[in-house]
Amino acid sequence: MSELTEIRWHGRGGQGTVTAAKLFAQSAMAGGKFVQAFPEFGPERTGAPVRAYNRISEKKLTIHCGVTNPHIVVVVDPTLVGTTDFTEGTDEKAVFLVNTKDDPKTVREKIKLKGAKIYTVDATKISLETIGKPIPNTAMLGAIAKVSGIVDIKRVLEDVKEDFEKKFPEKITQKNLEAVKRAYEEVKGE
Amino acid sequence: MGKLVALTGNIALATAMRQINPDVCAAYPITPSTQVIEQFSEYVADGLVDTELIAAESEHSAMSACIGAAAAGGRVMTATSSQGLAYMWEMLYIAAGMRFPVILACVNRALSAPINIHGDHSDSMGARDSGWIQIYAENAQEAYDNLIQAVRIGEQMDVRLPVMCCMDGFTTSHAIDTLELLDDKTVRDFIGEYKATHPLLDVEHPVTYGALDLQDYFMEHKRAQAEAMKNSRKVIVDIAKEYKKISGRGSIYFEEYYMDDAEVVMVIMNSAAGTVKTVIDAMRARGEKVGLLKPRIFRPFPYNELADALSNVKAVAIMDRADSVGAEGGPLFMEFKSALYGRKNQPMMINKIYGLGGRDLMLNDIEEIYKELREIKNTGKIKALSEYITVRGEEAAYGKA
């Protein structure tokens, strides 16, 4: 990994996008990195497009302005493909991770993207089959662990377990851990 | 080495409050400081602190309750932002005038109108004459460290003044940042037991607070308050040094970043100072002699030390995240002009008003200012003394160049 990785998350209010960015930062920190996680600060409404950001660095982070040129873009909601320009500010080296039932090639055609790398995972399906609800955030954590190479999947599983145990019953925690594992296995590249 | 954690600025403050374990916390939550009290109320509910939490019906009442609790003899804390601080206004002066070391976490936010929930320094800058000590923080780490030190500073017997600890709304309050926490015992040993002076609850020694004070003694009491603020200068130094021993962290009145040989310098407070450091790192790598001076203590204003720090600098941009409308520049600019007046080696100075209502200050904006300073250094000419930057509309500088 390069010295600093900037990530932009696109989701919809209520899908746990901000929580995912937060958990990802915690896992990266547990792995010895310096981290930041912050939402796009605005009124949050269920269903409205939201953005969240991460900075993961080998060195202490002092920068506090917004992320405008992300290295990795994570699209948590499939309906944002074709309706939001989530490629804004990215270059040909960017990595896209999209929650969709389509394969990377189809996404590339839909958004007419040249260069960069696209990965896809059907996180909504995974979350429905494991958690029983279309909340794809934990599945996306498993997928980004695979795609980014910044954090170890074991750390992600530990952090999700620790975070969920505080708020939810054991059964829900286990289902979320299952979602993380499955997405890690099922993410597809080009 | 303490424990490394990833927390938002607000949760870092709530954690410091849990470790401080005040006797009373009276508050009326407001964005973006809401989570401080929200999280702290969980600590109260979980029995992790002994604090009596008072959910007041307004900020005016919250500060009134803080004053009452402090008069009774308690160690008292609260948190607020923006309109909340504005609504506390008259009580801020009373807390200071009655010499109660109340601690207030101010999560900086713009003042209405137009309504805006994002970070700028209009709220705390407006309270700069209220008699409170003011400490500013770049990030969650400094906000945490400052709050712990504030307890000791305010409670020192020859100070006994309230302390306002400021950090930027959202940029610091809502962003997860990496920071190091001290363990609970270290914090509790550092702050020590609270010693109340003339508490109302000491019924064996009855006292009166809030008595009428007219032409005969009012001025002596105000002078005593001013002396207490002067005394705080030394206390701030001592406490910062002592805190550094237990934490390994912290500056005193201000932080200097590459100031040793800096020719052009930016003076900027809070979160944007961190972004300036990132720009400096890149410019220094190209051999450019740029520096940063980041004020930490705004009240008492360390005018001598700041003027000394700028004595070898050629050109300085004072960055204000608040305006004093009708004055020739923002509040920080006015302080620096006054601090440098009569000095032999005055740098050339300009003022920029930036970031109002949360507008972001990006890397290239900062680099442009350093370029302008370089031009001023080379030509000796200032184009605009004070102006708004990163703003729409025609060039609107004011002040004679």
pLDDT band at B400 (very low <50, low <70, confident <90, very high): very low
Q: Vertex B60, ends B59 and B61: CA angle to 5°?
A: 90
Q: What percent of chain B has pLDDT over 90?
A: 96
Q: What is the CATH number of the domain that holds B289?
A: 3.40.50.920
pLDDT tens by residue, B157-209: 999 999 999 999 999 999 999 999 999 999 999 999 999 999 999 999 999 99
Do B137 and B243 sit in the same domain of this protein?
A: yes
Q: Among residues A93, A101, A105, which one has the least CA distance to residue A139?
A: A101
Nearest Cα to A182, choosing from A133, A134, A148, A131?
Answer: A131
Q: To which H or E segment does residue A5 belong?
A: strand A4-12
Contact check, Cβ <8 Å, A25/B361 = no
Measured between CB atoms, does A162 come within 8 Å of chain B? no
Does B133 lie in the same domain as B37? yes
Local confidence pLDDT in tens for the 190 residues of chain A: 468 999 999 999 888 899 999 999 999 999 999 999 999 866 668 888 999 999 999 999 999 999 999 999 999 999 999 999 999 999 999 999 999 999 999 999 999 999 999 999 999 999 999 999 999 999 999 999 999 999 999 999 999 999 899 889 999 999 999 999 999 999 999 9
Q: Based on the domain organization, do B49 and B180 belong to the same domain? A: yes
Whether residue B287 is found in the same domain as residue B359: yes
Q: Same domain for B181 and B259?
A: no
Q: B51: distance to nearest CA of chain A, Å?
A: 24
- The Cα B23–Cα B269 span in angstroms is 31
Query: Looking at beta carbons, which residues of chain B come within 8 Å of A34?
Result: 178
Cβ contact A62–B278 (<8 Å): yes
For A131: left if phi > 0, alpha if psi spans -120 to 50, otherwise beta; the answer is alpha
Touching check for A18 and chain B: CB below 8 Å?
A: no
Quick one: pLDDT at residue B396? 59
User: Can you tell me the ipTM of this complex?
Assistant: 0.91
CB contact under 8 A, B277 and A62: yes
- Parallel/antiparallel/unpaired status of strands B163-168 and B133-136: parallel
Query: From CA B312, how far away is CA B335, in angstroms rounded?
Result: 19
User: How is residue A74 annotated by DSSP?
Assistant: E
Query: What CATH number has the domain bearing residue B152?
Result: 3.40.50.970
Same domain, B286 and B138: no
Q: What's the pLDDT tens digit per position in B369-390?
A: 999 999 999 999 999 999 999 9
B401: confidence class by pLDDT, cuts 50, 70, 90? very low
Tokens 């604090």 belong to which residue?
Answer: B51
Q: Identify which of B28, B231, B234, B225 has the alpha carbon closest to the alpha carbon of residue B130.
A: B225
Closest CA relative to residue B139, chosen from B18, B337, B261, B294: B294
Residue A137 is which amino acid? Answer: N
Residue A16 confidence (pLDDT): 87
Distance separating alpha carbons of residues A41 and B31, to the nearest angstrom: 12
Between chain A and chain B, the number of residue pairs with CB atoms below 8 A apart is 67
Instruction: For residue A65, give the nearest of B139, B172, B363 by CB distance.
Output: B363
Assess whether B131 and B61 both reside in one domain.
Answer: yes
Q: Which residues of B30-48 are buried (b: 16+ CB within 10 A; e: fewer)?
A: bbbbbbbbebbbebbeeee
Domain boundary among B185, B215, B247: B247
Instruction: Say whether residue B110 is in contact with chain A using an 8 A CB cutoff.
Output: no
Instruction: Tell which of B230, B247, B264 closes a domain.
Output: B247
Q: Is the pLDDT of residue B126 over 90?
A: yes
Residue B200, helix vs strand vs coil = coil
Domain that holds residue B36: 3-247
Distance, CA of A102 to CA of B381 (rounded, Å): 61
A18 vs chain B: nearest CA distance in angstroms?
A: 11
Q: Which of B247, B278, B296 is the last residue of a domain?
A: B247
Q: Are residues B185 and B270 in the same domain?
A: no
The pLDDT score that the predictor gives to residue B2 is 76
Residues from chain B contacting residue A60 (CB–CB below 8 Å) = 178
Inter-chain touch A64–B271, beta carbons under 8 Å: yes
pLDDT 10s digits, B44-74: 999 999 999 999 999 999 999 999 999 999 9
Q: Is A23 at the interface with chain B, CB within 8 A?
A: no
Q: Are residues B362 and B243 in the same domain?
A: no
Distances A107 to A98, A113, A182, B313, B336 between C-alpha atoms, Å: 8, 9, 21, 55, 56
Predicted confidence (pLDDT) at residue B398 exceeds the cutoff of 80? no
Beta-carbon separation of A39 and B177 below 8 A: no
Q: Are strands B297-299 and B133-136 parallel, antiparallel or unpaired?
A: antiparallel
Domain total in chain B:
2
Kindly state whether A27 is in contact with chain B, defined as any CB-CB distance less than 8 angstroms. Answer: no
HSE value, Cβ hemisphere, 13 Å, CA-based, for B385: 11
- Which of B270 and A46 is assigned the larger pLDDT? B270
Burial of B105-139, coded b for 16+ CB within 10 Å and e otherwise, reads bbbbbbbeeeebbbbbbbbbbbbbebbbbbbbbbb
B400 versus B332: the higher-pLDDT residue is B332
The C-alpha torsion from B261 through B262 and B268 to B273, rounded to 10°, is -80
Q: Are residues B384 and B293 in the same domain?
A: yes
Tell me if chain A has a CB within 8 Å of the CB of B362. yes
Average pLDDT over residues B217-222: 97
The whole-angstrom distance between A148's CA and the closest CA on chain B is 20
Smallest CA–CA distance, residue A160 to chain B, in Å, is 14
Are residues B203 and B339 both part of a single domain? Answer: no
DSSP H stretches of helix in B108-139: 122-126
The pLDDT, as a whole number, for residue A15 is: 86
β-strand pairing of B163-168 with B103-108: parallel
* B4 near A CB under 8 A: yes
Pairing of strands B176-181, A34-39: antiparallel
Is A182 within 8 Å of A143 (Cβ atoms)?
Answer: no
Same domain, residue pair B99 and B242 = yes
